[in-house]
Amino acid sequence: MHSTRLACFAMATLGTFVAACSDGRTPTQLDRPSFDQTQNSVDGAEFGFTAGWLKGQTVQFFYHKPFFCATPVADGGPVGSTTACEAGSDGTVDPRPGKIPILFVMTPLGFRPAESTLQCPIVGHCINHPSTIDLSRLFGAGAANAPLPAHSHIVDQAEGNFWELHVIGVKDPATWDQVVAGKSLAAVRALQAADPTGTKITPEILTDVYLFFDVRPGAGM
């Protein structure tokens, strides 16, 4: 685990995280996903899509296998979430051999951006994602079984297999708008380079979470 990354991300308080996870709607207003999902499933995994960003374009991610989280994590500490998914420490068990590409999960912290800019807008629910994640290494013991925050996705290559999930927190609406406009890892790296103290955007945070999806052409491709 890279301690400098963790320290930078942990600058946000637990209260800020709670604000980021709340979208102000009641549970009855959260029962309709904004992603496309079919009724078919295999081994508990739904078939369906979310959007993602790839090199300035919007693409589609097709999900058809469950997420993967396994213990122990690299720092040896306990995992508190009901899903065995952890942020703030790398996983030690991969879902397959070989090099695994990275999915960058762009997560607003302390504010709720426009719904249209969130590819997984429903807190605690997105197709074949974990519903909860242990964020205690970032925010303290009260976040050991936190609902998965609303977020969007960036990839830098077109693949179809398991992806290792890295989190990048965005701390203000103006920076979020720049991420949305750039739609690319290059844009995110430029924002991080311009903000070395992590005041507006964090370095990437390692997790033990893997998602399985195929990258397919989407609008603008």
At 30-70, the pLDDT tens digits run 333 444 444 344 456 678 999 999 999 999 999 999 999 99
CA distance 203 to 193: 9
- Per the domain annotation, does 221 fall within a domain? no
Residue 9's Cβ-side half-sphere holds a number of Cα atoms within 13 Å equal to 28
At 133-181, the pLDDT tens digits run 999 999 999 999 999 999 999 999 999 999 999 999 999 999 999 999 9
In terms of residue numbers, what domain contains 76?
A: 3-23+35-216
pLDDT at position 111 is 97
Instruction: Answer yes or no: are the C-beta atoms of 123 and 22 closer than 8 Å.
Output: yes
- Per the domain annotation, does 201 fall within a domain? yes
Domain count within the chain? 1
pLDDT at position 214 is 96
At 86-122, the pLDDT tens digits run 999 999 999 999 999 999 999 999 999 999 999 999 9
State the residue for tokens 């999930």: 165
- Per the domain annotation, does 29 fall within a domain? no
Instruction: Answer yes or no: are the C-beta atoms of 91 and 171 closer than 8 Å.
Output: no
- Per the domain annotation, does 176 fall within a domain? yes
- The DSSP output letter for 5 is H
pTM: 0.82
Tokens of 148: 């998965």
What average pLDDT does range 186-195 have in this prediction?
98
CA distance 220 to 58: 7
Comparing CA positions, the residue from 31, 134, 21, 25 lying closest to residue 86 is 134
Comparing CA positions, the residue from 162, 11, 5 lying closest to residue 98 is 162
| Stronger pLDDT, 195 or 12, i.e. the higher one | 195
Confidence band for 27, pLDDT divided at 50, 70 and 90: very low
* 45-54 vs 36-42, strand pairing mode: antiparallel
- Per the domain annotation, does 30 fall within a domain? no
